[in-house]
Chain A
Amino acid sequence: MKKISITPYTRAGKYKFLKTGFLVFSFLMFCKVSVSSMPMGPKEEQQQTIEIRGKIVDEQGNPLEGVNIQVKGGTTRTATDAQGNYRLRGIPANSVVVYTLVGSTPQEYKVTESGVRNITLSLEEKKLDDVVVIGYGTVKKEDLTGSVGQVNMDDLMEAPVGSFDEALAGRVAGVQVSSSDGQPGVGMDIVIRGANSLTQSNSPLYVIDGFPIEDPDNAAINPEEIESINILKDASATAIYGARGANGVIMIQTKKGKVRKPIMSFSSSLGFQKIPKTIKMMTPWEFVNLEMEINKARATEIYTPADLDPENEFYDPEGRTLEDYRHIKGIDWQDLLFRESLNQNHSLAIRGGTKTTRYSLSGSIFDQQGIIVNTGAKRYQGRLNIDHEFSKRFRTAVNINYSENLRNGGLVNAGGGANFTAYALYRTWAYRPVTGNPNINIVEDGFDDEFDNPSDLRLNPIVTAQNDYTHRNSYNFMTNVSLEYDINKKLQWKSTFSINNSKSENQTFYNSNTPHGSPRNRTLARNVHGLFSQGEGTTWSNENFVTYKNTFNKAHKVELMGGFSMQEIHTETFGFGTMYIPDETLLMQGLELGVPFSSSGSGGEGGLMSAFGRVNYDYKSKYLFTGTFRADGSSKFVKENQFAYFPSFAFAWNMKRENFLQSVSAISESKVRVSYGATGNNRVGYYEPFTVATNTLSNTYGFGNDLPIGGIVISKIGNQALKWETTYQFNLGYDLSLFNKKVDFTFDYYKKNTRDLLLNAEMPSATGFTRVFKNIGSLSNEGFEFTLKTTNIRNKQFSWISSFNIGFNSNKVVGLTRNQHTMFSPMTVGQNTADLYASRIGYPAGMFFGYIFDGIYQVEDFDVSSTGAYTLKSNLPSNGSDRDKIQPGHIRYRDLNGDGVIDDRDMSIIGRGQPIHAGGLANNFSYKGFYLHVFLQWSYGNDIFNANRVIFDGNYIKLFNLNQYASFNDRWTPENRSNTLYKVGGEGPAGYFSDRTLEDGSFLRLKTVSLSYTLPSSLVKRAYMSRLSLRMAVQNLWTFTKYSGLDPEVSTRHSVLTPGFDYSPYPQARTVTFGINAAF
């Protein structure tokens, strides 16, 4: 619940900069005058009753109903009618009249005589930064003791995206938001203050309208409906969520209705998406030259039959010569694959309310087509929020949200089909730009007949994309009811009841023109097949807590909160697939014709019981102390380990309140915060303590060709000793505000130690198991965060506000399984798998591991025999191939151990997967009705392994007919003695990962630029509108990076252990949208 703080009468005059808008400004001036004209005491004159009347309107001139008008300290009161009119009679002269409306700042006036008093009440929200939503309550920002990042929703809303998390990157210091790539409908990875866990989820806990939920579908929420997002970062703020708080907490509040006549607001935007960059590929002439180098005879037969000896059976005088290719324009497959796609977003909301009942009803349609055909995401969503007062002391609030998220398109970065050529972008880049025979139409044929390599299933990238049939739908229903009762003025009770139900449905159909379903697929060999699965998860929760607030001796303010909560979750999934479907035209409905090959069913249940409490003590707002405590019990652990306790303490010193600073007018706020506490993480499966036996066909064995019914095996070993993982976090913060809050500065230092890591730990396989969940290992994260917000210029016409944030995090593996020194993570590129990542004690998790590229062997490195044969000089190391095969132009690696041989002993850490710092800079300009928002975002210090280049900038296994990036034109030849690119066939042993293709992934991106214009209200009033604004926004306008791939914001196989891997990514699109916002 959002709290409205009452502005005291005596302080009204101090507000000068708070309100925007001329009306409010002048009104405040008036207010000041009226205050200063109050010297005479109210009791000086004998009482005489007077009467006032008038009309109360909002800033747009709309009449306000239900405004309470009351004599201060008296009982006489009335309220405005539907037209905003009121009449208050029989009030003593010189009394102070208070105009109150929920959702606006109360106003007070002294009335001396009868008359008309027309009032304009500002309905502007209380500035979000005044009140911060924290766990089980709110706190004035001034009184905050913990570290809480606030998202500026106005800024966030400038980004033309469908889901709030897509615009979150760079908005809050220490909150790292990244996407695996640009595929529509794929969620973002949010990590707050570095990863705590190596093998388990590092996602924060979400609390949506007070309802804690572990892995929500963020796309289910319409960003337009979000009132505020607060990100709890330090232990003092998160420990109230105990066992789920270690990864940070994202608090989301949705918009509520207000006491007013219903206002309908409508916003609509239409946009276009386009790929900002493609990779330059070889031209036909370059390509044919390359093929000549790979296989002269074959290339000549296919591409230049006219150049052949007339005796040759492939000689064709009508055919092409090599020179012909100089003039042929190649097929630009990227151009054919990527399209300009449409993006639309419409939402409609009606909000209003009476004094007792406020409501907000909203709905939205979002439709984002992907820049690759057959990909996209859609959302249909509706929400109802109702706040009702049964009595002055008893209130209820109901929030209901329903959303359908329909996503289509197979994941471009997931190959599947057990074949590396099943990746969409691999196909696109690999497909040759030209054919030898001009009559072959490779653009329309699903398969290139001139090319037949059974191990490389290379199908037409366009035809396969057109035939893709993948639907991932989710249906999310979330309802949340709260009851609040003021037991007395100091004691408040609140209960919330929530149910969240989400269903998912996946449909995949692979027809014969897809890599998976193609009869040419040798490894999968299911021919036409389809899969259907559905899942359902239901969570209910109940939270009850009481809050007690009191102030003793005007100096000691105490707030106590205590409560308990329960939560249960039930999930189940079912699915099946059939293959060899004889009729592919029926699509999913044809599944019944196929041979079943997979079926699945699984379920899980979990429960969480907790008790929690918080003490806030505040001495004259100078010294602030917060202590929180939570006890969590989870069904995921056995009885002895079920409960864990998470305390935290925080202290803040509000220096501004001290005498020595009160006189310093330049400083508006100066506060030091310190906190320490423990939080937990329980992100493991529901039944990890249990040993699991399964009975499946995949574990069976047929005797004498019988048809076995099942095979029972112990598939997983349980660990009864499993318990909570704990993160201990220290935070030191400083808030400084200068020049009447024109400059706001926040600094935080933190150090997190995570112990008893819930690690999917490796086991010696002699035990019969390769992994088990254990509480073993530890990690630390240490960092700094700076946030600076400045109002650079502010006057009636023009304002310029900047906000800047930067977060540094250094992550370190402190311990692993027992004496394990390094955890390796292998990666597969093409046909080869090798270790590419190492998480090593003393280093950050997910470091790149491999060989060090050491240039190219040059002619001088060889002894030349009398026959002209090159032999590598004996003092030079080999490259892992046989020495006698190494020739000038071959790749060279650094021989780290100096034994003259390159083998796995020469692998070392070659780069870092995590950035050193990341942040954002937003600038907002407003001039009259114009508003310009410019947002820059960056990430610095992380490397990206551009695995595409292993194949397309070097052709790692000398595949014929495989187009290459244009950069490979610079390869070593006797004429062009490159030291950066080996010659054709000089790649050395396949499957070696080196820093040759490891690139600096730092980037600075002009993420959002948005310009809007609000029409003058006098103009729009004629159209019965209260507000109309037009907007143009651009997302991903410009990126500055040295990274050579499509986009540096990429991590196609993302996990803590394997960051920054780029293979066949879905490119990030540039989006341009045009929209209107209107209110009626």
Chain B
Amino acid sequence: MKKITYLFLAFIVLSVSSCKKILDKEPLDFYADLTYYYDTPEQLDASLRGVYDMLQSSALYGGLMNYRLGLEADEGYYARESPVSGPHANDFTSGHSDVNSFWRDLYTGIGRANAFIANVDTNEEIDEEYRNRLRGEALFLRGYYYFMLVKTYGGVPLILEPLKDVDNIDIPKSTDKEVYEQILLDMIAAEGLVDGIQDIGHGGRVNKSAVRGILARVCLHMAGYPIRDVSKYQEAKNWASKVINDPIAGHALNPSFSQIFINYAQDKYDPKESIWEVEFMGNGQDAYTETGQVGYLAGPSSTSTVIGECFGGVKATSKLYSIYKPGDLRRDWTIASFVYSGANHDFSTSYTTSTTQTYLNNRHAGKFRREYETLLPKHRTRTPQNFPLLRYSDVLLMFAEADYETVHLGNEGSNGVPSDSARNLLMEVKLRSFNMGGIKVSGGFGINAGGSGYLSPPKITLPNATGTEAEITATVTNGAITALQLVRDPVTGFKMGSGYDLPNYSYVTITPTNGGTGGRVNARFYFPEDAALTAAELSDFRKTIQDERMREFAFETIRKGDLIRWGIFEFEMRQVANTLSTANLAGRYYYNYYANVRAKHRLWPIPARELNLNNALVQNPGW
């Protein structure tokens, strides 16, 4: 018995000594020591990718921003009747899930950036230049996420360090101005650290031009409402000028407006035009989760897997349609003039021809089109299309605006003459999309003489061959030409051709050839004077820039922010409501989106969930 007692005692001693081992468990599937994750250049790279990753979040550019957040303002609307409430209808409360997820995902991105910035120097053995470059990107992204927050919610809690104490969560809002100041600090620091766009070779990663260009945008927002610090116009101009005058970056406009977006669909990069874009790739048939929904959520609606299915979640307003001048090629790319039906789509029959208000307010946004995707097979709901965050044309227009406002110091009452450079830059953007030398669709195009003896519709050719691609079909009745039609085109609206260098007076008479005789067709062409700024446009250059921005950036999630900083958000939204009302469209579901707008809608409410949990927060006015 004694033996057993001893054995028992020995056992106890042994057991107690193993106590430490039993109670001291290191995690098996991760490292408890966070410094492990910042120890090599590859890990720093992976960690930085985590900061970028939030751009793809489904509440941000990976989904909601493409259609349901109401960011297109007066350009268009969410093309569904249900759900009834939400930001897309300007009918929502602070409890709305879109309001919450937008906030949550931006702060998740900020949290990831904070963790990266706090740990990037963990291993000082890693090349300092490399660390600084990555630090710069993280600083910029943090600034960008705060920029999105401050535009949307106004002043928000400013958190710049990783969370240390899970109980220290009553964090008051900073003012919007303080948030903007921090954004400037982060972005300016980043500007000195990140690589140039030509070193990177594409706009998929934060680069010097992107930082400068976004800084210009941030400064314009600070110069505008509600901060209204007009001294920031000069800074905006400086930043934009740095992009424009950077010979190494060599930015230039892509000569074709539509090609910019076709490039996104085809995963092609154009660093000269597309300075910064959200990266998406793949068709879901790989181990990655890098697909997005650009082109699926908003685009010409389609149920064909060959063209690529499209939910068609955004439709344009007649206001957007009408702001384009004749000859502006952006209109029929930005607003689809057709509908897809079936897999082998016949564009010749599926055009929306009516231009009544009902139809003009019923066309799909067409800027991002799945038809052009080259990666096959196409995923049914996910796409590889990148999304533009900053294009060169934006920098040019920002310069023009900042330059103009610098002269006039933002004084709304005073409209003066824009400087030459402001004017030229605006014209550069405008002319890129102006169909110089194309046949004018209306205004002189028609039958001059029907002729006789035509057995079949004649081919109609222009007198000389300097231009390209115009196509005209004729209808022949009893041997005579009785009707004419410029062939429809899904990109330009009509095959009106371009570059025809024909006399700049009266009508050009085009002779049909095909057996018959005497048929003549009249046409006029777009000439530089058609594109020139009118006296009215020159005398209200501020409005001219505003309109030009609408034409250029429709459905690129820029409009609502612009309207607010210009202080005309409610006014412009009301304009749409009035138009709809006048056209007897007030009964349509989308009318509410415009009619509901009040001053409080300049900002979203602080999410209810956040208010409940953070006792130091105060709700935005009116909510």
Contacts and interface: CB of A to CB of B under 8 A. Distances in A.
Interface stretch (B50-58, B242-250, B559-567): B50-58
Given A454-B309, A704-B205, A762-B613, A607 B84 contact: no
B352 interface: no
A489 to B, nearest CB: 12
A597 B381 contact: no
A407 to B, nearest CB: 27
Interface residues of B, number: 93
A48 B219 CA distance: 122
Contact of A768 (B110, B201, B589): B110
B233 interface: no
A817 interface: yes
Interface string A691-734: 11111011111111101111111100101010000000000000
Most buried by B among A580, A697, A713: A713
Nearest to B112: A713
B25 A766 contact: no
Interface string A314-358: 000000000000000000000000000000000000000000000
Given A690-B32, A712-B37, A763-B613, A697 B22 contact: no
B295 interface: no
Contact of B287 (A596, A633, A821, A832): A596
Interface stretch (B63-71, B278-286, B500-508): B278-286
B90 interface: no
A989 interface: yes
Interface in B75-122: 82-85, 93, 95, 97, 100, 103-104, 107-108, 110-112, 114-115
B53 A609 contact: no
Given A704-B269, A768-B163, A693 B30 contact: yes
A580 B285 contact: yes
Contact of A635 (B24, B107, B613): B24
Contacts of A601: 29
Contacts of B49: 699-701, 703, 708, 710-712
Interface string B220-250: 0000000000000000000000000000000
Interface in B112-134: 112, 114-115
B452 to A, nearest CB: 39
Contacts of B85: 880, 903, 989
B535 interface: no
Contacts of A699: 49-50, 53
Contacts of B369: none
Contact of A523 (B11, B34, B171, B381): B381
A701 B37 contact: no
A457 to B, nearest CB: 11
A356 B202 CA distance: 83
A778 interface: no
A572 interface: yes
Contacts of B486: none
Contacts of A763: 166, 169, 613
A990 B171 contact: no
B12 A564 contact: yes
A766 B159 contact: yes
A721 B589 CA distance: 52
A568 B19 CA distance: 11
Contacts of B110: 768
Nearest to A488: B1
B8 A700 contact: no
Task: Tell me the interface secondary structure of chain B in the complex.
Answer: loop
A811 B53 CA distance: 43
Interface string B287-325: 111100000000000010000010000000000000000
Contact of A695 (B19, B46, B380): B46
Interface in B371-396: 379-382
Interface in B1-50: 1, 4-5, 8, 11-12, 15-16, 18-19, 21-25, 27-32, 34, 36-37, 42-43, 46-47, 49-50
Contact of A713 (B24, B47, B83, B381): B47
B204 A714 contact: no
Interface string A765-792: 1111110101000000000000000000
A607 B32 CA distance: 17
B163 A991 contact: no
Interface string B166-178: 1101010000000
Contacts of A712: 37, 43, 46-47, 49-50
A493 interface: yes
Contacts of B42: 709
A664 interface: no
B25 A767 contact: no
Interface in B336-376: none
B428 interface: no
A805 B8 CA distance: 45
B614 A766 contact: yes
A604 interface: yes
A904 B5 CA distance: 70
A814 interface: no
Most buried by A among B24, B28, B201, B592: B28
A713 B25 contact: no
Contacts of A770: 104
A579 interface: yes
Nearest to A770: B104
A764 interface: yes
Given A700-B288, A713-B53, A717-B166, A635 B46 contact: no
A564 B615 CA distance: 46
A566 B15 contact: yes
Interface in A381-417: none
A867 interface: no
Most buried by B among A598, A690, A712, A772: A712
Contacts of B36: 693
Contacts of B50: 699-701, 711-713
B587 interface: yes
B95 A766 contact: no
A139 interface: no
B499 interface: no
Contacts of A567: 22
A493 B4 CA distance: 10
B157 interface: yes
Interface in B578-623: 587, 589, 592, 607, 609-610, 612-615, 617
B288 A702 contact: yes
29 contacts: A454-B303, A544-B8, A544-B11, A567-B22, A595-B285, A602-B28, A603-B29, A634-B23, A690-B32, A693-B34, A694-B30, A702-B281, A705-B267, A705-B281, A711-B49, A712-B50, A714-B115, A714-B162, A717-B163, A719-B166, A764-B171, A766-B156, A768-B111, A769-B163, A832-B83, A903-B93, A957-B82, A990-B83, A991-B83
Interface of B: 1, 4-5, 8, 11-12, 15-16, 18-19, 21-25, 27-32, 34, 36-37, 42-43, 46-47, 49-50, 52-53, 55-56, 82-85, 93, 95, 97, 100, 103-104, 107-108, 110-112, 114-115, 156-157, 159, 162-163, 166-167, 169, 171, 200-202, 204-205, 267, 269, 279, 281, 284-290, 303, 309, 379-382, 587, 589, 592, 607, 609-610, 612-615, 617
The 6 closest A-B pairs by CB, nearest first: A768-B111, A607-B22, A603-B28, A713-B50, A701-B52, A765-B104
